Structure 1
Amino acid sequence: MTPGKAHKTCGCCGRSMAKAVAVTDGVAYCATCYAREFKKVPCVQCGKTMRSLGGKTPATCRSCKAQDRYCIRCGKPVPRAGLTVEEGVVCPSCVRYYKEPQACAVCGQKSLRLSRDFQEGFTEPVCNHCRRESYITCPSCGKHRRPAGPDSQGRIVCKQCLERTGPFICPQCGQEGRAHSKTRCEACYWKNSVEKRMRSAVALLSRPWAKEAFSGFTLELRERVGAQPAAMRLEKYFLYFAKLDTLFITPGDITAEKLIMALGREGLRRYAVPQSYLIRHGIVPAFSDETLQAASAEAAQIALLTASEGQWYAGLLRRFHAHLAEINARYRTRGWQGKQQRFIPRTVTTALRAAKIFLDFLEIDPAAGVQHIQQMQLDRFLVEHPGYRDGIRAFVRFLNRKEKLFRKLKIESVQRNLPKGLILDRDRYTSLLRAWLNPADDVLKASLISTLMLLYAQTAKRLVRLRLTDLAQGATDGMYRVIFGRTEITLDPRVGHLLARYLERRRALATMEDTDDTDWLFPGRRHGGHLHEAIVSYYLKKQGVTAASLFTTAIYYAYLGGLRHPKVLVKAFGITDYTAVKYLQMIDPRLTAEVEARVASR
């Protein structure tokens, strides 16, 4: 059947007719031919009598056909079809998309949305723009309607708001609110809208567990964030459930590796809210940060190896990857896991990526192979890509030890001194502390993190991984104690007061998570996760400082305060022996130079 085209001639007898009684296989039948050609047969589903062309069986009646029928455009259930086409049926709301656009009687523009408005004097079909040209946005109800006159406050409002004498009492919930229509308030509209969108979305899912999970998630999201925000976000979150519904038969099949491959690391961040809901309700297993990082790194490594296929160095890169994986496994078997993990999967990815970029940079004959890599090429690469100086070291060691080179490659070490201005002066130091120890409530968390970094030489990575169990409060003196390194230290009373203020206002950042659900001192946006290090960098950037400057300044003023032995810094602040010695060696000559300069100026 051609959309929008009426059948005026019977395809059986050829006589004209006002309307076809039935259309089968593109042939229209009048009432006489219908009674002659269509024989009575029982419906194969309900058993009721119906008519079928030539008495052909099995046949299904219209009522049974409409039970599980969906619109071919929007996917909504269609109990009563607005239009029937060769591909299926169309709901009444989507019929206009299957008709030819008509010209507006006023502006002449073609549109699918033409209608008459006799109250406004439009006796011919016109577009919405012309029909509503005189409309206003009512300041009372927010609808785009025809103006009716001024209300008691002098505002030009629509007819419904002008006729209303008192506050609107919603007939549906019985509460006073903003009118959305005569039958319900705006809150009830959004509440019903969430349920309507949820039913439409559930109909598109095929797995029973996915349907149930999405329904429960939608209702809880509405309770947590409100009906209107939930309605706005529902389409975005539905994509996550649709992907799970397509990829996994049961929720038990979901693993971190499969999720990373399907969504990517960025996808897990984007869908952190529904992912948190599934984990919290035990629908899918909880994934630790270590597991997710390993899965993400493995996916990135596979992508790098796949991208190298067909290149002359493909085999070399695979051997290097196997070498790195062997080192990683060796670290794990020797107990370097959890907080103590070393040579993590992300390190493997970084080294593999640097190696591929270096090999792409080389301009050598593919037949020559790895033996023709020369020191001059490595030096030129480091000049043009200085950021890969550390990342390429593992590959250079691998070439020197595992591959046969004519001459070993070498990366010259660069002496690292403290950059100028890295240590904050006394005025800047005191002004920052004064501001961070007496912050407003909206910057309380940022101030606490910055203070701990400035006074106790803590890195962002260590701070965001602090747990509530790392803190303790004295029963008698009320002082807070914390473990940064090997020994427990007592926080300064002012810092303890700042920490107490934060603990009173501590809240979870995840949309549907409470502080009782997480043990992290600084909860993150992912369920069961901590604050991201990038957020700490954002806090510091707003203050005009960096993590490196706070770390160096903390050690510098600790040195001035008497902490001049590396082991003291190691035990108190938890930094490594090498770092403590390095910084103290760099700071001590500076102190000597300052003293000499002051003596000379006298």
Structure 2
Amino acid sequence: MTTEPGRPSTDGNGSARPPTLRTFTEPNRRGRPRSSGSLRCDRCHHNVARIRVRWPDGSICGACFTAATHTYGACAHCHTHRMTPGRSRAGEPICCDCARITTNLTCDRCGREAERHRRGLCARCALDDDLDELLQPGTDRQLRLLVNALASADRPESIISYLRGRRANDLLARIGNRQLALTHEALDALPRSTAAEHIRALLIHHGALPRRGSEPVARFRLWLTARLAQLPDDGTRSSIEQFATWRHLRRIRDKEKHANAVNLDTVTHAAKQEITEAGKFLVWLRTAYNVGPAGIQQAHVDEYFSEGATTRKHIRNYLHWLQRGKSHRQRTVDAPHRVAKSLPMVTQDQRLEMVRNCIELEQVVASTRIAGLIFLLWAQPLNRIVMLQQRHALRRVDGLYLQLGKTPTIVPEELAATFGTYFASPDNQRTGNTGTDWLFPGRKAGGHLHEATLGQRLKVLGIDPQRARNATLQDLTRQVDARSLIDLLGYSGQTITLHAGRAGAPMADYVTLRARATGG
């Protein structure tokens, strides 16, 4: 197979990236890695270095002990609702009394059945002590709300681990010592860090800090101020400031009005790319030719494109903005719109293997597997998947539906129970992100999962987002007419007609849809 000079072989799949499934290995079991040893756990049947406890049903390793002491429900023997760490001969979960477990699993302070975390206290009581010592809330309303937000996490062990982190501990200590005020201005003045943004999100989500519009937009404004300060004051800074204000900030403000329906992380990320690349272009232009924005010639643009990375294509909208008011034919300077020369995709057999991974690999967190199924079955872009809310999951008499476009689409009967169980209790709500309507909550309180994070997680299941999405869309266009797909999936007519044409699908309404897509 021949390739362009300097380009790696695509191996016939339309992309130089190696297919994810080719190097896919089954992910490890969740949780901390188990140390191997000569002792055998009677619960997980792994060889371990240390046995944590011996109960009537056998020797129990540390990981199984923790799992057992975090299991609550109705005892299979006495039907009492309590901790059920024991196992009957049939493998059913049973309470301490029915299992004849004598290990002390009661907190000395609150009396709750739980694993004793420290000095006879359960993890929640130990966390209360840690937060009071670190934050010293007293009667301060904001600090008390912050303490309550952290202390009320479903899994207090996770917050205890979070407090051990150096940055988080230092930040909370400064708050507790009253060296750092709990205001947006004080947090903005800090170096950008995950710890600071996590605290800000908790404070906002639990009412201790006022909302200031959308956080992605607020972060974009701060970024823009810093970016403009880095540009030379030779006409470059003023031109980029005007471009950012009139092209991007106005558009972002309009989209902010629909923040629950628009992924503002995606919008602001695209704006940052265009602003950054436009600034780089003007700096290059001034250095190479001592020319400012008013003196840009097509030859400059062609040379700039010929010798740099493909990210330089993002100056296209800046060039159009400079010539605002002019039609395509009137423009004297333009940048070519990059068109993919190939369509990377997986085979349908590989796609089915990915679906199988999502269903069978239970060691992968439920949110990743459910998002993977939505992606593989309905080709939803990742930035739309992370924006799905509880209102998009429609529970009807005839089954579970997802509202992805104008027309709800039914979840296959074989997967309805799996989807329904997850939607009833989404991931990431155990460490502060409680009370959220997002179907895929992020670790930050009140926020949804980031699309880049989801993309990385899908690779654990062997999913290459670009190839899999193309394969799914082509398969769907062969099975469903284009007009119905547009209503079901929420795609534009242009996207559907493109994939339908490549799939060779018959389209009686192709001309109408194409005219709508192009405005003809």
TM-score bucket (shorter structure): 0.5 to 0.7
Identify the match of residue 232 of structure 1 among 164, 167, 183. 164
Identify the match of residue 541 of structure 1 among 453, 459, 477. 459
Counterparts of 1:191 and 1:340, CA distance in 2: 40
> Could you give the per-residue CA deviations for residues 429-485 of structure 1, whole angstroms, max 9, x where no partner exists?
33233333344264433222112111111111111111121112222x3x1112111
> Could you give the per-residue CA deviations for residues 309-339 of structure 1, whole angstroms, max 9, x where no partner exists?
4345233323333432575279569x87652
**Are residues 186 and 384 of structure 1, via their aligned partners in 2, closer, same or farther at CA, if it must alter by over 3 Å?**
farther
Establish whether residue 411 from structure 1 lines up as the match of residue 335 from structure 2: yes
Report if aligned partners of 2:248, 2:271 keep a CA contact under 8 Å in 1. yes
Q: CA deviation at 1:536?
A: 1.8
Counterparts of 2:110 and 2:324, CA distance in 1: 80
User: Which residue in the other structure is 1:352 paired with?
Assistant: 275
Report if aligned partners of 2:372, 2:458 keep a CA contact under 8 Å in 1. yes
Identify the match of residue 496 of structure 1 among 409, 412, 416. 416
Q: CA deviation at 1:340?
A: 5.4
Report if aligned partners of 2:277, 2:315 keep a CA contact under 8 Å in 1. yes
> Greater RCO between the two (CA within 8 Å, min separation 6)?
2
User: Which residue in the other structure is 2:351 paired with?
Assistant: 429
User: Which residue in the other structure is 1:578 paired with?
Assistant: 494
User: Which residue in the other structure is 1:482 paired with?
Assistant: 402
Counterparts of 1:540 and 1:223, CA distance in 2: 25
**Are residues 186 and 325 of structure 1, via their aligned partners in 2, closer, same or farther at CA, if it must alter by over 3 Å?**
same
Report if aligned partners of 2:297, 2:333 keep a CA contact under 8 Å in 1. yes
RMSD, aligned CA: 4.6
Establish whether residue 568 from structure 1 lines up as the match of residue 477 from structure 2: no
Q: Percent of pairs identical after alignment?
A: 17
Q: Counterparts of 1:113-152 in structure 2 under 5 Å?
A: none
Q: Counterparts of 1:358-507 in structure 2 under 5 Å?
A: 358-364=281-287, 368-401=291-324, 408-419=332-343, 422-440=344-362, 442-475=364-397, 477=398, 479-503=399-423, 506-507=426-427
Q: Which moved more, 1:458-467 or 1:376-385?
A: 376-385
- SS at structure 2 position matched to 1:339: coil
Q: Counterparts of 1:35-54 in structure 2 under 5 Å?
A: none
Counterparts of 1:488 and 1:229, CA distance in 2: 41
Q: CA deviation at 1:210?
A: 5.4
Equivalent AA in structure 2 for residue 321 of structure 1: A
Equivalent AA in structure 1 for residue 335 of structure 2: I
Report if aligned partners of 1:260, 1:296 keep a CA contact under 8 Å in 2. no
> Could you give the per-residue CA deviations for residues 53-78 of structure 1, whole angstroms, max 9, x where no partner exists?
xxxxxxxxxxxxxxxxxxxxxxxxxx
Counterparts of 1:480 and 1:301, CA distance in 2: 43
Equivalent AA in structure 1 for residue 309 of structure 2: P
User: Which residue in the other structure is 1:48 paired with?
Assistant: none
**Are residues 582 and 372 of structure 1, via their aligned partners in 2, closer, same or farther at CA, if it must alter by over 3 Å?**
same
User: Which residue in the other structure is 1:91 paired with?
Assistant: none
- SS at structure 2 position matched to 1:466: coil
Counterparts of 2:146 and 2:476, CA distance in 1: 54
Counterparts of 1:178 and 1:310, CA distance in 2: 62
Counterparts of 2:159 and 2:458, CA distance in 1: 36
Report if aligned partners of 1:260, 1:295 keep a CA contact under 8 Å in 2. no
**Are residues 168 and 306 of structure 1, via their aligned partners in 2, closer, same or farther at CA, if it must alter by over 3 Å?**
same
**Are residues 456 and 283 of structure 1, via their aligned partners in 2, closer, same or farther at CA, if it must alter by over 3 Å?**
same
Counterparts of 1:309 and 1:430, CA distance in 2: 53
Counterparts of 1:279 and 1:340, CA distance in 2: 20
**Are residues 407 and 353 of structure 1, via their aligned partners in 2, closer, same or farther at CA, if it must alter by over 3 Å?**
same
Equivalent AA in structure 2 for residue 525 of structure 1: R
Counterparts of 2:367 and 2:430, CA distance in 1: 16
Equivalent AA in structure 1 for residue 387 of structure 2: R
Report if aligned partners of 2:379, 2:473 keep a CA contact under 8 Å in 1. yes
**Are residues 384 and 587 of structure 1, via their aligned partners in 2, closer, same or farther at CA, if it must alter by over 3 Å?**
farther
Q: Which moved more, 1:442-451 or 1:363-372?
A: 363-372
- SS at structure 2 position matched to 1:392: helix
Report if aligned partners of 2:146, 2:203 keep a CA contact under 8 Å in 1. no
Report if aligned partners of 2:252, 2:267 keep a CA contact under 8 Å in 1. no
Counterparts of 1:379 and 1:199, CA distance in 2: 63
Q: CA deviation at 1:373?
A: 2.9
Counterparts of 2:166 and 2:387, CA distance in 1: 32
Counterparts of 1:332 and 1:189, CA distance in 2: 43
Counterparts of 2:163 and 2:276, CA distance in 1: 42
Q: Counterparts of 1:104-183 in structure 2 under 5 Å?
A: none
Counterparts of 1:140 and 1:434, CA distance in 2: 35
- SS at structure 2 position matched to 1:480: strand
Q: CA deviation at 1:583?
A: 1.8
Q: CA deviation at 1:259?
A: 6.4
User: Which residue in the other structure is 2:243 paired with?
Assistant: 320
> Could you give the per-residue CA deviations for residues 63-119 of structure 1, whole angstroms, max 9, x where no partner exists?
xxxxxxxxxxxxxxxxxxxxxxxxxxxxxxxxxxxxxxxxxxxxxxxxxxxxxxxxx
- SS at structure 1 position matched to 2:504: helix
Equivalent AA in structure 1 for residue 333 of structure 2: L
- SS at structure 1 position matched to 2:439: coil
Report if aligned partners of 2:395, 2:401 keep a CA contact under 8 Å in 1. yes
Counterparts of 1:542 and 1:360, CA distance in 2: 41
Counterparts of 2:123 and 2:341, CA distance in 1: 64
User: Which residue in the other structure is 1:527 paired with?
Assistant: 445
Report if aligned partners of 2:345, 2:470 keep a CA contact under 8 Å in 1. yes
Equivalent AA in structure 1 for residue 385 of structure 2: L
Report if aligned partners of 1:522, 1:531 keep a CA contact under 8 Å in 2. yes
Q: Which runs of 5+ in 2 are unaligned?
A: 1-49, 53-101, 507-520
Q: CA deviation at 1:519?
A: 1.4
Q: Which runs of 5+ in 1 are unaligned?
A: 1-138, 142-165, 591-602
Q: CA deviation at 1:387?
A: 3.0
Q: CA deviation at 1:584?
A: 1.9
TM-score of the two chains, using structure 2 as the length reference:
0.64
Q: Counterparts of 1:246-395 in structure 2 under 5 Å?
A: 246=179, 248=181, 254-255=183-184, 258=185, 261-263=188-190, 266-267=192-193, 269-271=194-196, 273-286=198-211, 291-325=214-248, 327-328=250-251, 331=254, 339=261, 344-364=267-287, 368-395=291-318
Counterparts of 1:331 and 1:552, CA distance in 2: 31
Report if aligned partners of 1:417, 1:586 keep a CA contact under 8 Å in 2. no
Counterparts of 2:372 and 2:312, CA distance in 1: 30
User: Which residue in the other structure is 2:7 paired with?
Assistant: none
Report if aligned partners of 1:470, 1:482 keep a CA contact under 8 Å in 2. yes
Q: CA deviation at 1:352?
A: 1.6
TM-score of the two chains, using structure 1 as the length reference:
0.56
- SS at structure 2 position matched to 1:473: strand
Report if aligned partners of 1:354, 1:391 keep a CA contact under 8 Å in 2. yes
Equivalent AA in structure 1 for residue 367 of structure 2: K
Q: Counterparts of 1:59-78 in structure 2 under 5 Å?
A: none
Counterparts of 2:255 and 2:114, CA distance in 1: 61
Report if aligned partners of 2:478, 2:500 keep a CA contact under 8 Å in 1. no
Counterparts of 2:313 and 2:174, CA distance in 1: 42
